[in-house]
Amino acid sequence: MKDRITTAIQGVRRYHFENGFFELMFGIIFFFGGVLVKPLPIPTIPPWLSIACLILTPFVVLYLWSRVVYPRSGYINNMPGTIKKRLSRIWPFLVLEIFLALLIVSPLLLMDSGPNGDGGASWTTFTFGLVMSLFFAFLGFQSRLRRLVVVALISAGLAVVLSPLFLGSQSYYFSNPQIPYWVVYASQIFITAYFLLMALVLTLSGGIAFLTYLHHNPLPLEMVHEQ
């Protein structure tokens, strides 16, 4: 009996991640996050557009989920029904999120900024990438999806490579007719590269998972006839 309950719980957890929508959503968010924090003003993309896309992405993904996933897999909600019960389950995660946020910005709080004012900031991509690695690994083990564990390992690898451990914390100076004098700090390069590379990884992972999901979960015949 206990094994059946455990299997059922794992099935609910897999439901929310096996179709690839989760990675696609994060891939889009990471892409526009990278565009928003890019160090150079070229190409010219208004910050408000990136922010609007970041805000709208979860809503668009949820809408597509309702149109694509629900007809194939049904609707599963593993959250308690009442607001009080939901808050009782959410607040521990809020405390954990605050702790992880402090961990991410800890280099800014604990390290000397260095001669170029970028010493602590250049390590934030390292802490952010490791925190995201733990996040993806947790989801991967919870849902028993190996691809999320692979994403976690890639995130950890990028966190190490895009840090002063490998690339130092040198500042770069640009000068051309469009940008007469522009300073780019290592932290800006690291975080932009991490966002854009992870956007590519998550989009590939989610896209392959989504195509596999569609292949194994065709629309029911009655819905096909309705269309």
pTM of the predicted protein model: 0.80
Q: Per-residue pLDDT averaged across 82-111, rounded? A: 66
Residue 18 or 150, more confident: 150
Burial environment of residue 188 by CB neighbours within 10 A (0 to 12, 13 to 18, 19 or more): buried
What's at 161, amino acid-wise?
A: V
**What pLDDT does residue 6 have?**
54
> Is pLDDT at 150 greater than 70 in this prediction?
yes
> Is pLDDT at 2 greater than 60 in this prediction?
no
Tokens for 122, please give them.
């250049």
> Is pLDDT at 197 greater than 80 in this prediction?
yes
Residues sharing a CB contact under 8 Å with residue 208, sequence separation 6 or more, in sequence order: 20, 147
**What pLDDT does residue 153 have?**
97
**What pLDDT does residue 225 have?**
45
**What pLDDT does residue 224 have?**
47
The model's pLDDT over 181-195, given as tens digits with 9 standing for 90+, comes to 667 777 888 899 999
**What pLDDT does residue 24 have?**
94
The model's pLDDT over 37-81, given as tens digits with 9 standing for 90+, comes to 887 766 677 888 888 988 999 899 888 888 888 887 776 665 555
Q: Which of 2-6, 41-45, 99-103, 129-133 has the lowest mean pLDDT?
A: 2-6
Give residue 26's pLDDT band: very low, low, confident or very high (50, 70, 90). Answer: very high
**Within 10 A of 30 (CB to CB), how many other CB atoms are there?**
22
Give the SS3 label for residue 133: helix
The model's pLDDT over 161-179, given as tens digits with 9 standing for 90+, comes to 998 887 776 776 666 666 6
The model's pLDDT over 200-216, given as tens digits with 9 standing for 90+, comes to 999 999 999 999 988 88
**What pLDDT does residue 180 have?**
67
Give the SS3 label for residue 125: helix
| β-pair partners for 26 | none
